[in-house]
Chain A
Amino acid sequence: AQKVTQAQTEISVVEKEDVTLDCVYETRDTTYYLFWYKQPPSGELVFLIRRNSFDEQNEISGRYSWNFQKSTSSFNFTITASQVVDSAVYFCALSEAGDYKLSFGAGTTVTVRA
């Protein structure tokens, strides 16, 4: 069963628009961790954020913000005022306690046009 669902395959926006990436996860564990990674065209995965299941506080880091809602099993990611450099594939991932393995979603390709 797929543990992480990223329903949006591709999103295309014009520079300075906001873009929200959806991530829905599935787990029976009460302790788990959620991640977002960015994969630019170069291929390297860049760590963006880690959130544990007991911390539902939303987080903002510069133009990036994350909304974690356990009630809907979602961990959405918003890029505000997008820039061309934000063009990449973004992956949401889940790790269940004691396992340490990452289950990745299918990824969402974001294209920001100048």
Chain B
Amino acid sequence: GAVVSQHPSRVICKSGTSVKIECRSLDFQATTMFWYRQFPKQSLMLMATSNEGSKATYEQGVEKDKFLINHASLTLSTLTVTSAHPEDSSFYICSARTGGFTDTQYFGPGTRLTVL
């Protein structure tokens, strides 16, 4: 299957700082990537859809100024959590869509964010 990487895998930061998470499709080009958030023992919640070369589309209730998304190339999308606070602590997972006949989302390994 297709490979998606995510960096960093784990980050601890102080309240008020910004954190950038990178999502890369390693062996395919992805015009669309997605960002999810997952709380402990819960399902994945879609935060936003990232389209290469255009603005991201955010789900209802997700603050676009808080979670900045940039999809500058066909293999890279970034999520920046601005002015992070303890309530932003979570597991963030990205996925990349392969497109084509067997259109499937493949997921990155996730980033564990802890805000102190």
Contact = CB atoms under 8 A, between A and B. Distances in A.
B109 A42 contact: yes
B93 A35 contact: no
Contacts, number: 49
Contact of B97 (A91, A100, A105): A100
Given A101-B46, A101-B49, A44 B104 contact: no
Nearest to A43: B110
Given A100-B32, A101-B34, A102-B105, A45 B46 contact: no
Give the secondary structure class of B's interface: strand
Q: Which range holds the interface residue count of chain B?
A: 20 to 34
Interface string A26-61: 000000010101000011111100100000000000
Contacts of A102: 34, 44, 46, 95, 105
A104 interface: yes
B28 to A, nearest CB: 13
Given A35-B105, A43-B110, 10 more contacts: A35-B104, A42-B109, A43-B112, A44-B107, A44-B109, A47-B1, A47-B105, A100-B49, A101-B49, A106-B42
Interface of B: 1, 32, 34, 42-44, 46, 49, 91, 93, 95, 97, 102-110, 112
Interface of A: 33, 35, 37, 42-47, 50, 91, 100-102, 104-107
